[in-house]
Amino acid sequence: MSKSQSDNFSVRDVFRKSGFSEKTALALSTWFGTGLLPVAPGTFGTLATVPLILGLNALGIWYNVLALVTVAGVAIWASDWSQDLLDTNDPPEIVIDEVAGFLVTMFLLPHTWLALALGFMLFRFFDIIKPYPVKKVERFKGGFGIVLDDLLAGFYANLGVRIILFILDRT
């Protein structure tokens, strides 16, 4: 299934040739084109999540829960379908997994710029270094494997932010 990147159609070519459902999956999985940026698409996908997080923070906990569950489910579906359309394993253009992971990172944290900045840095750190068992869950096939490692990285980042904020509060 996985071909080298140069043998694949570009995302734009696949998008043009696709039907409505496939275009929807590609638009969502690239987080509305953010994943098409040529440098650091995962970082920009995470950054593009900030407006969603700020909006959810204003709505309350139940909207955060609903958004997290919805985005994670949609991320698995869209990532799975987009991976098949692009005929490559975990293409870098798919960044909706970063969106889901960053939502986990910021879940139930204080609504401060410090928490947001720490969450961003720690999520990118854990998503890139992939500590145990984050690296192991990448082995799962399809959208589930693409998304689960980011959800776990988000969990680690959430704990890290909590620890740092606790230490800062004690000093």
**Would you state the torsion angle of the CA atoms of residues 150, 156, 161, 162, taken in this order, to the nearest 10 degrees?**
130
The confidence band for 15, taking pLDDT boundaries of 50, 70 and 90, is: confident
The residue range of the domain holding 146 is: 5-170
Length of the chain: 171
Q: pLDDT tens-digit profile of 75-88?
A: 999 999 999 988 88
pLDDT at 16: 83
CA separation for the pair 103, 67 (Å, rounded): 8
Give this prediction's pTM.
Answer: 0.90
φ and ψ of 109, to 5 deg = -90, 160
The confidence band for 71, taking pLDDT boundaries of 50, 70 and 90, is: very high
Q: Is the pLDDT of residue 8 over 50?
A: no
- What domain count does the chain have? 1
Q: pLDDT tens-digit profile of 114-164?
A: 999 999 999 999 999 999 988 888 788 899 999 999 999 999 999 999 999
Q: pLDDT tens-digit profile of 20-63?
A: 999 999 999 999 999 999 899 999 999 999 999 999 988 989 99
